[in-house]
Structures are given as C-alpha cells and as structure tokens.
Amino acid sequence: MRILVVEDDITQLQPLQGALLKVGHIVDAAEDGETALWLMQQTDYDLLILDWMLPKISGISLCQQYRQAGKTSPVLILTAKDAILDKVSALDVGADDYLVKPFSLLELLARVRALGRRAPLWQGDKLELADLQLHLNTLTLKRQEITVQLSGREFQLLEYFLRHPQQVLTHDQIEQALWEWNRQPDSKAITMLVHRLRQRLQLVKAEDWLQTVYGIGYRLVAPESCDR
C-alpha cells in the first residue's frame, strides 16, 4: 500500500517509516500538518497514519478535511491521549482506528494489515484476481500451486495493479503510486519494472494478463477462460 505517515517527533517517525518500508509498503512522511495536507492533495493514499498533535495543522483536523474532501481511505490516529472522549472525537471526525502511545511496532503493523484488508479485493492476507494470488505477509505470487517470490518493487507494482483490475494505468499513475513524492525515477524504470513483473508472471503462466496499452500504459486483466 501507499501510506502517508505524519509524525513531528523524528525519533518516532524514522522507526515507524522503516518498519512500514521493510514489509513492502511505499511510504511518504511529513513532520507537520501543512506539509501533510499538501501531500494529501497531490497523491492518492491507501492509508493515512496521523499523529494527533502536529505543528500548524493537527492530525484530527487533517482527518476531518480528508473526509470532507470525499476521500475514503482508512485513517489511523496516533496519540498520547487515552481518554474515552478523545477516542470518540477521533472516530467521529472520520478516523478508522486509534492507537495510544507508546505502542509496539508489531501492533501498529497488525493494525495496518487489518485496515488494508478493508479494501474489497482483500481475502484474508492475500489479494486476488481470479486464481492469481498476491500474499501480503510473504511478498509472494501464487497460482495453481506455483509460488514465486517477488522483490519489494515487483510486489508493490503487482499490488497496485490488483487494486485497480482491468483499469489502464498510465506511467504517471504508476510513478505516483510507487515512488515517494520527492523522488524521480529513471526514465526507463517503469518499463523495466513491468518487464521484470512479466517475467515473474510467466513463471505462473500469467504473463499475458499484464497487457500493454500502447501510448497510454498497462492493465492487468484475467482471461475469461480463467477459472474463478
């Protein structure tokens, strides 16, 4: 998933960001509410993790503005506030979950997995299209008893396609989904990454599922003959 993490304490932000990256997520980070608001307006995130107390704009206000803009991705609030009324306030402005500091990274990652499973295509800890399965915990692709290990980037690209099945995704959309906002990939990076993913799909006899739409981008489509 592409995740925005907003935390003004760098000693908490760095390990949190590192843990999310390690399990295959794409992570943008901000240390104040104003920067976070700009990022939220520029990018479609699959999940937002917002500290309550932030410089310039609070996490609660960010959550509220996000919902008022019609955005539906899950929001997890982090805070030292542990009163019932605080939790009620966070949930009432649109947060989906609430984690009190200090917390363990293991618990936070479990909350992230749980929120990620709310997307329609998640089945347990895997994402599916017909009989093609992408396993979240192991970064593996599976079809018809064949299992293929993916690199972090290959996993992120396939996850993005599986979250948008049959939709043509442009180079710009893929770049925005897979690269942090302040990083510019090499001009051939996406083409090479798609080539590598096709090689992985070939191992499960699904390389033709990933189609090139010339002049526009790519889409992932399951053939009609595929068992469902």
Is the separation of the CB atoms in 160 and 175 below 8 Å?
no
Angstrom distance (rounded) from CA 148 to CA 61: 43
Collapse the DSSP code of 30 into the 3-class scheme (helix H, G, I; strand E, B; otherwise coil) and give the result: strand
Residue 82, in any domain of the structure: yes
Is the separation of the CB atoms in 193 and 205 below 8 Å?
no
Which of 15-24, 54-63, 64-73, 219-228 is predicted most confidently? Answer: 54-63
The predicted structure's pLDDT at residue 124: 58
The CATH number covering residue 175 comes to 1.10.10.10
* Average pLDDT of the segment spanning 26-38: 94
* Average pLDDT of the segment spanning 69-87: 88
Cβ-based neighbour number of residue 13 at 10 Å: 17
pTM of this structure: 0.69
Is the separation of the CB atoms in 27 and 180 below 8 Å?
yes
Instruction: Tell me the residue range of the domain where 172 lies.
Output: 126-220
**pLDDT tens column, 92-102:** 888 999 999 99
Q: How many domains does the chain have?
A: 2
Q: Check whether 181 has a pLDDT greater than 80.
A: no
112 and 130 inside one domain: no
**Percent helix / strand / coil, the chain, rounded to 5:** 40, 25, 35
Residue 225, in any domain of the structure: no
**pLDDT tens column, 135-175:** 887 889 999 889 999 999 999 999 989 888 888 899 888 98
Angstrom distance (rounded) from CA 32 to CA 50: 10
The CATH number covering residue 39 comes to 3.40.50.2300
* Beta strand ranges found along 88-195 (DSSP E): 97-100, 122-123, 126-129, 132-135, 140-143, 146-149, 169-170
